[in-house]
Amino acid sequence: MDYSKINIFSIWLIILAFSVVLIILIGGYTRISDSGLSITEWQPLSGILFPLTEQSWILEFEKYKLIDEFKLINSSMTLSEFKFIYFWEWFHRAFARYIGFIYLFPLIYFLFYKYINRKYYLSVFLIGFLLALQATVGWYMVKSGLYGRVDVSQYRLALHLTLAFIILGIIVHTYMRVKIDQGAYLSLSGYEKNRKTVLAVFIFIFFQIAYGAFVSGTDSGLLYNTWPLYNGTLLPEITFLDSTIKYLFFENRDFIVFFHRSFAFVLLIVVVYLNLLIFNSNNSRIVKVILLYFDIFLILQVILGIIMTYLNIPWYIALMHQGNSIILYLISIIMITLSSKKIKFSN
Inter-residue contact 258 to 346 (CB < 8 Å): no
Confidence (pTM): 0.94
Inter-residue contact 38 to 85 (CB < 8 Å): yes
Q: Which residues of 31-53 are buried (b: 16+ CB within 10 A; e: fewer)?
A: bbeebbbbbbeeeeeeeeeebee
Residue 326: partners with Cβ closer than 8 Å, 6 or more residues away: 21, 24, 25, 168
| pLDDT value of residue 340 | 79
10 Å Cβ neighbour count for 234?
7
| pLDDT value of residue 347 | 39
How high is the mean pLDDT in each 10-residue block of the chain (347 residues)? 83 98 97 95 90 95 96 95 97 97 97 93 98 96 93 96 98 92 60 92 98 96 93 88 86 95 97 95 87 98 96 95 98 91 50
54-64 and 79-112 are packed helices; what angle lies between their axes, rounded to 10 degrees? 100
Distances (CA, A) of 198 to 24, 195, 276: 25, 5, 12
| pLDDT value of residue 310 | 95
Rounded Cα–Cα distance for residues 130 and 120 (Å)? 16
Residue 40: partners with Cβ closer than 8 Å, 6 or more residues away: 63, 64, 66, 67, 146
Rounded Cα–Cα distance for residues 77 and 254 (Å)? 31
| pLDDT value of residue 112 | 94
| pLDDT value of residue 285 | 87
Rounded Cα–Cα distance for residues 316 and 303 (Å)? 14
| pLDDT value of residue 182 | 77
Rounded Cα–Cα distance for residues 23 and 94 (Å)? 10
Q: Say whether 187 sits in a helix, a strand or coil.
A: strand
Rounded Cα–Cα distance for residues 105 and 88 (Å)? 26
Rounded Cα–Cα distance for residues 51 and 236 (Å)? 46
Q: Which residues of 12-29 are buried (b: 16+ CB within 10 A; e: fewer)?
A: bbeebbebbbebbebbbb
What one-letter code names the amino acid at 328?
Answer: L
CA within 13 Å, CB half, 126? 15
Torsion of CA 201, 205, 208, 210, to 10 degrees: -130
Phi first, then psi, for residue 163 (nearest 5°) are -65, -35
Rounded Cα–Cα distance for residues 118 and 126 (Å)? 13
Instruction: Please tell me the total number of residues recorded for the chain in this structure.
Output: 347
Strand partners, 186: 345
| pLDDT value of residue 46 | 84
What one-letter code names the amino acid at 167?
Answer: I
